[in-house]
Amino acid sequence: MKIFKKKFFRVFNILILSFVFISEFTNFAFSETKIDNLKKYKAAILVEAETGKVLNEFKSNEKMIPASIVKMMLLLLAYEAERKGTFSFDEKVHISLDASRIGGSQVYLKEGEVFTLRELIKTVAISSANDSAHAIAEHIAGDEKEMVKLMNERAKSLGMHNTKFSSVHGLPPKNSLREEDYTTAFDTAILARELVKFSEVLNFSKRQIDSFRDGKFVLYNTNRKLLKTFKGLDGLKTGYYTKSGYNLCATARRGSMRLISVVFGASNKKARDRETKKLLLGGFRVYKKHSLFVKHQSVGEAIPVSWGRKDKIRAVTSEPISLVIKRIRLKEFKTQFVLPKSLKAPLKRGQKIGVLNVMMNGNLIASTSLIVPEEIPAMGWIEWLMSK
């Protein structure tokens, strides 16, 4: 009986200790989950760059103060102007007195100094130089006011409906004569999708450290810690002042997929970087970009052509189709070709003859027109008879 009691109490004690350990572990795990679920920012979004598919978002259409993220639009206009041939990045920019007086983050430009447009763009992309942003605006548009007008016009054309720029640098207004800049996480993602099309911007924004004034002035990237620690990250722009909080529009590429994240109003740099990492990592782990069809790819069966100098053709896609889809659902989509059984010449190159649909669970998730790949003239009666 005594032996039984000893064994009983021994088992009982083990069970109690196990219960305590499990309870402690469960409480710890619950507490960690709760902390992870707390939003450390005011707004955020995660999108795939090519398709614009929104993968994650939180209050992405609420108006926020972008601070230096405003400079992304300045950079976009500069690169678009260079692509059109309006400006050359090698041309000289003369620094004005107004540009030399801009405060905040700067490279301490002096009135009368001369730099190439490319040099100034580099200082904006890497170290967010406000004085360089002002100098670029003056060179491209004549003055800051005119540049702001161009920035707002471009925002409207891109569909950035909840954005209004009041400056070229994003500094807080010094008086009531100027309003705050405002935008949204969603609109910023639209802007970023356009900006990443210019590889030189990313070539600058991925540099952790560089130099200016022939190596005499060191440029430190405002996003260098995240660039150093996150695989594939190569941009894009930070922004901060007290009222705006810590903002970051980041982009990273892994394999064939480029993601863009936006975090607005984080409480500090660490929170901004941590939440950016979570968004990007979640996107790369859960989603996969699947290129289904390239532009002008032949699809479907050959279609007979009557009265044509070519007796059959295969339709081609008018545009490429890429899907950004959760990895777990990669095998669930189906393709559907809607094409005629026959065609009659003449047929023009690019003429629409059908449609390619991509379906998932009965829902249309992507489509493109199917077109004639080449011009097919009609045969005359004699030519037709001779072909028989």
Residue-wise pLDDT tens digits, 98-133: 999 998 999 999 999 999 999 999 999 999 999 999
pLDDT of 77 = 98
C-alpha angle 176/180/182, rounded to 5°? 160
Yes or no: say if 314 and 299 are a contact pair by the CB < 8 Å rule. yes
pLDDT exceeds cutoff 60 at 6: no
pLDDT tens digit sequence for 167-220:
999 999 987 778 999 999 999 999 999 999 999 999 999 999 999 999 999 999
* Rounded CA separation 161/244 (Å): 20
Catalytic residue selected from 60, 68, 105, 244: 68
Residue 237 designated active-site: no
Topology annotation, domain 43-287: Beta-lactamase (3.40.710)
pLDDT of 385 = 66
> How would residue 350 be classed by pLDDT, with cut points 50, 70 and 90?
very high
pLDDT exceeds cutoff 70 at 69: yes
> How would residue 382 be classed by pLDDT, with cut points 50, 70 and 90?
low
* Rounded CA separation 363/322 (Å): 16
Tell me the β-bridge partners of 220: 209
Catalytic residue selected from 42, 59, 71, 122: 71
Q: 38 or 271: which carries more pLDDT confidence?
A: 271
| CB-CB neighbours of 303 under 10 Å | 18
| Ranges in the chain annotated CATH 3.40.710.10 | 43-287
| Ranges in the chain annotated CATH 2.60.410.10 | 294-386
Average pLDDT, the chain: 88
Phi/psi for 225 (5° steps) reads: -65, -40
> How would residue 299 be classed by pLDDT, with cut points 50, 70 and 90?
very high
> How would residue 387 be classed by pLDDT, with cut points 50, 70 and 90?
low
In sequence order, which residues have a C-beta less than 8 Å from that of residue 380 and are 6 or more positions away? none
Residue 71 designated active-site: yes
Topology annotation, domain 294-386: Peptidoglycan synthesis regulatory factor (PBP3), Domain 2 (2.60.410)
> How would residue 380 be classed by pLDDT, with cut points 50, 70 and 90?
confident
Question: What is the four-CA torsion angle of 159, 323, 43, 66, rounded to 10 degrees?
Answer: -50
pLDDT of 21 = 32
pTM: 0.83
Q: Does the bond joining 66 to the residue before it have cis omega, within 30 degrees of 0?
A: no
pLDDT exceeds cutoff 60 at 27: no
Per-residue tokens: 81: 């102007």
In sequence order, which residues have a C-beta less than 8 Å from that of residue 116 and are 6 or more positions away? 89, 90, 91, 92, 93
Yes or no: say if 103 and 61 are a contact pair by the CB < 8 Å rule. no
Q: Which of 105, 375, 67, 109 is nearest to 249 (CA)?
A: 67
pLDDT tens digit sequence for 72-93:
999 999 999 999 999 999 999 9
pLDDT tens digit sequence for 33-58:
233 435 689 999 999 999 999 999 99
**First-to-final CA distance of the chain:** 109
| CB-CB neighbours of 163 under 10 Å | 25
Concatenated DSSP letters for 228-246?
HHSTTEEEEEEEEETTTEE
* Rounded CA separation 235/249 (Å): 8
pLDDT exceeds cutoff 70 at 388: no
Per-residue tokens: 75: 């950079």
pLDDT of 220 = 97
Yes or no: say if 287 and 48 are a contact pair by the CB < 8 Å rule. yes
Residue ranges of alpha helices (H) inside 56-95 are 71-84
